[in-house]
Amino acid sequence: MLGLTIREVSLALREGRISPKELCQKCLKLIKKTKFLNSYITVTEDLALEQAEEAEIRFQRGKPLGPLDGIPVAVKDNFSTANIETTCASVMLKGYIPPFNATVVQKLLDQGAVLMGKTNLDEFAMGSGSTDSIFGPVRNPWSYSTHCRDRSGQTPGGGTSDSDWAVTGGSSGGSAAAVASLTCFASLGSDTGGSTRNPAANCGIVGLKPTYGLLSRHGLIPLVNSLDVPGIMTRSVHDAATVLAGVLQGHDPKDSTTVDYPITPINLPDDIDVSSICIGIPREYHAPGLSSETLSHWSRTAELFEKAGARVVEVSLPHTQHSIVCYHVLCMAEVASNMARFDGLEYGYRSAVDSSTEAMYAATRHEGFNDVVRRRVLSGNYFLLKHNCKLFVVKQIRIGHLGYNFVLMFVCCVCFRLLTPTTLTEAIRYTDFTKEDNRTRSAQEDIFTQPVNMAGLPAVTVPVALASTRLPISLQLIGQAFQEQKLLTVANWLEQQVKFPLIELPDMHENTEKSSSSLAV
């Protein structure tokens, strides 16, 4: 039952083949068995069982709230949750309990979703591996799957050490691992430069970054206000569409950046004709470091579209090489601004140093932030100095938000959808990943994903194959602003063609019911 999609398990709940409480208990049991993955920071067991019992009463009365009623979900620990600790995986917010729910969290609860817990991440979402958390790194469930382990029980690459496992990607690695390991059916991440799509790709699930302004950011502890978007992770494209259109999208008066766009259901037909569409292949995405296997599956997927009658054309995004630089300058400038609120005076961590307010403030920020956050704050403050602001920040805004964005949006209008890799390679082993510093890794891992955030466009990553290491390889589809219906329709077609396998975790869960539809992510 845990291997089913939201659509399938929702039907099972309505038909009485399983109750919400039974489903919740199965997920809680699996969370305990997969605790070593470190997906969750907080498991809300009592709350989840209470919510499941309430859902059970509604089903008994024949009055379920919506498509997510009784469905276990998880939320990244940078979304505010009323009466539940929200830490951002940082000492700075450890013990902080918000008095309200983020809008997207409240919308999930209003639909009867069962909150299993808060998931792990890079501290304040600053990272691309989910390795920089005060609670420890998140492990990729695929490292422990039957696909990856040989008969001797070794991990990918033949290693047997405790650190010889693949990272999830970041910064929403806990949310991705939670869905991939079958402990919940959907999760929320945040996406500033790829933080939803990157871990979704590494963990073999679907990761959707909606158009900027389509989902409310109210209650999402900000990293970069102009780029942050709540992201959706599920095991199928149809499920992502259900969570987006059926639950989360819509204008929020508490968030001035949300757009009052008409809310319409997203209907993904089972029989999809792609012969009338155009798929663009950006030539600049043949970037240094792109693995031969990823390139091969990218080309093979383009051929799938061509054979189905779609027009596949090569396009040029000449500003691609400059985009990552623009992104990091803007990111650090806004990080410095957003982190200024953590001063030890109002809420969060406060240093015991009390010789003066200035000394307490400096000690609080030194003790409360890790090296990654401190470096970004220092860099951001440097860029924001009066004599540097015009030289760096204003120039990057002009290049990034006017130059690159215009070209990307123009190409998307011509081709409707772009097909690109999501990451340079499949998931990297932890021992190799941590050989590079956070800044270098972020530049490498965000290369294909951050341009979409700069342009405010929607994108979705879909797993397409297993690499020779038996770890997932995923591709990204980029669409036009507010055209999630068209984007997800094409993604659904691709998902049907590749039939990516469901993860198999030995000795961790019961034998799942595998219908033809449950084998496709």
Catalytic member of 133, 171, 172, 187:
171
- The predicted structure's pLDDT at residue 325: 83
Q: Confirm whether 195 is a catalytic residue.
A: yes
Q: How many CB atoms lie within 10 A of CB 363?
A: 17
Look-up: residue for tokens 């997932």?
472
- The predicted structure's pLDDT at residue 146: 83
Q: Where are the alpha helices (DSSP H) in 4-138?
A: 6-14, 20-33, 45-60, 103-110
State whether residue 358 is helix, strand or coil: helix
Q: In whole angstroms, what is the distance from residue 131 CA to residue 513 CA?
A: 33
Q: In whole angstroms, what is the distance from residue 254 CA to residue 14 CA?
A: 34
| Own/partner long-range contacts of 502-505 (Cβ < 8 Å, ≥24 apart) | 502/3, 502/235, 503/141, 503/142, 503/145, 503/147, 503/180, 503/181, 503/182, 503/204, 504/145, 504/146, 504/147, 505/34, 505/141, 505/144, 505/145, 505/146, 505/181, 505/182
Classify the C-alpha dihedral 245-26-47-196 as positive or negative. Answer: negative
Order the strands of the 472-478 sheet from edge to edge. Answer: 40-43, 114-119, 72-76, 186-191, 229-234, 206-209, 459-466, 472-478, 417-421, 278-282, 311-315
β 229-234/186-191 pair status: antiparallel
Q: Report the CATH architecture of 6-150+166-322+398-498.
A: Alpha-Beta Complex (3.90)
Q: How many CB atoms lie within 10 A of CB 299?
A: 10
- How far apart, in Å, are the Cα atoms of 71 and each of 7, 329, 363? 10, 40, 43
β 114-119/229-234 pair status: unpaired
State whether residue 215 is helix, strand or coil: coil
- The predicted structure's pLDDT at residue 129: 97
List the one residue out of 224, 220, 225, 229 whose CA is nearest residue 191.
Answer: 229
Q: How many CB atoms lie within 10 A of CB 340?
A: 12
Q: Confirm whether 29 is a catalytic residue.
A: no
List the one residue out of 207, 251, 264 whose CA is nearest residue 232.
Answer: 207
Instruction: Extract the tokens encoding 472.
Output: 């997932």
Classify the C-alpha dihedral 490-496-499-502 as positive or negative. Answer: positive
- How far apart, in Å, are the Cα atoms of 376 and each of 329, 382, 436? 10, 10, 16
Q: Which residues pair with 466 in a beta bridge?
A: 472
Average pLDDT of each block of 10 consecutive residues along the chain (521 residues)?
Answer: 90 96 98 97 98 97 95 98 98 97 98 98 97 98 82 42 85 98 98 98 98 97 96 98 94 95 86 94 94 98 98 88 84 94 92 94 96 96 82 60 55 80 98 93 92 92 96 97 95 97 71 33 26
Instruction: Extract the tokens encoding 69.
Output: 């009623």
List the one residue out of 154, 240, 163, 167 whose CA is nearest residue 202.
Answer: 167
Q: In whole angstroms, what is the distance from residue 2 CA to residue 139 CA?
A: 20
Q: In whole angstroms, what is the distance from residue 246 CA to residue 239 CA?
A: 10
Q: DSSP secondary structure string, 292-305?
A: HHHHHHHHHHHHHH
CB 429 within 8 A of CB 165: yes
Q: In whole angstroms, what is the distance from residue 59 CA to residue 61 CA?
A: 5
Catalytic member of 195, 323, 379, 442:
195
Write down the pTM of the prediction: 0.93
CB 7 within 8 A of CB 516: no
Q: Confirm whether 76 is a catalytic residue.
A: yes
Phi (first) and psi of residue 137, to 5 degrees: -75, 160
Look-up: residue for tokens 């003066």?
356
Q: In whole angstroms, what is the distance from residue 506 CA to residue 132 CA?
A: 28
State whether residue 349 is helix, strand or coil: coil
Q: In whole angstroms, what is the distance from residue 404 CA to residue 417 CA?
A: 17
Phi (first) and psi of residue 385, to 5 degrees: -60, 145
Catalytic member of 76, 107, 118, 209:
76
